[in-house]
C-alpha cells in the first residue's frame, strides 16, 4: 500500500471563508474528506497535515524520508519565497508534487515566482480541490 503525506500550508485552514470566489466554497475539513475517500477507494494510506508555520512544515517533510512514497504539498504563499521548504523537499528524497487550488499565474505578479516547484516532480495549479486527487493519482503510476 502506498503511503502519501499531504501538507496544507498557511491559511488553508480558512478555506470556505477566505475569498470563496478564488478558492471555492469548500472547507479544509471537506477537502480532507474528499482526499480520504479517494485514498480509501484506491487503497492509499494518507497522512494529512495543515500548518501555518514554516518550521512545522519542514519538520513534517524531514520525517517523511523513508516513511512515505510521495508528498503532496500546497505550500500556499511559501511557494513564492521559502527556500527553507525547498531545501527540505530536496533533502528528503521523496517525490513531491506541488498543488495550488487557484491559478497562481493569475493576479498578483509576485505569485508567478515559484521556488518550490523546481524541486518537485510537477505542479498542479488552478484546478480547485480536484488538483489534490490528481496529485494522489500520480503516485499510482511508475515514473520510469
Marked catalytic residue, from 23, 81, 83, 132: 23
SS3 76: helix
Categorise residue 128: left if φ over 0, alpha if ψ from -120 to 50, beta otherwise: left
17-35: burial string, b at 16+ Cβ within 10 Å, e else: eeeeeebbebebeebbeeb
105 belongs to the catalytic site: no
Marked catalytic residue, from 8, 53, 80, 100: 100
83 belongs to the catalytic site: no
Chain centre to alpha carbon of residue 61: 11
Q: Half-sphere exposure of 33 toward its Cβ, with a 13 Å CA cutoff?
A: 5
The residues that are catalytic are: 23, 100
Amino acid at each position: 500500500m502506498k503511503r502519501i503525506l499531504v501538507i496544507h500550508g498557511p491559511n488553508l485552514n480558512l478555506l470556505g471563508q477566505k475569498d470563496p470566489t478564488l478558492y471555492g466554497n469548500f472547507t479544509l475539513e471537506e477537502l480532507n474528506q474528499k482526499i480520504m475517500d479517494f485514498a480509501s477507494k484506491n487503497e492509499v494510506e494518507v497522512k494529512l497535515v495543515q500548518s501555518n508555520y514554516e518550521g512545522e512544515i519542514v519538520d513534517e517533510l524531514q520525517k517523511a524520508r523513508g516513511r512515505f512514497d510521495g508528498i503532496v504539498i500546497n505550500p500556499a504563499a511559501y511557494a513564492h519565497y521559502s527556500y527553507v521548504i525547498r531545501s527540505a523537499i530536496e533533502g528528503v528524497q521523496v517525490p513531491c508534487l506541488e498543488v495550488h487550488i487557484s491559478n497562481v499565474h493569475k493576479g498578483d505578479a509576485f505569485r508567478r515566482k515559484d521556488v518550490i516547484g523546481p524541486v518537485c516532480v510537477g505542479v498542479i495549479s488552478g484546478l480547485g480541490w480536484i488538483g489534490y486527487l490528481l496529485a494522489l493519482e500520480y503516485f499510482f503510476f511508475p515514473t520510469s
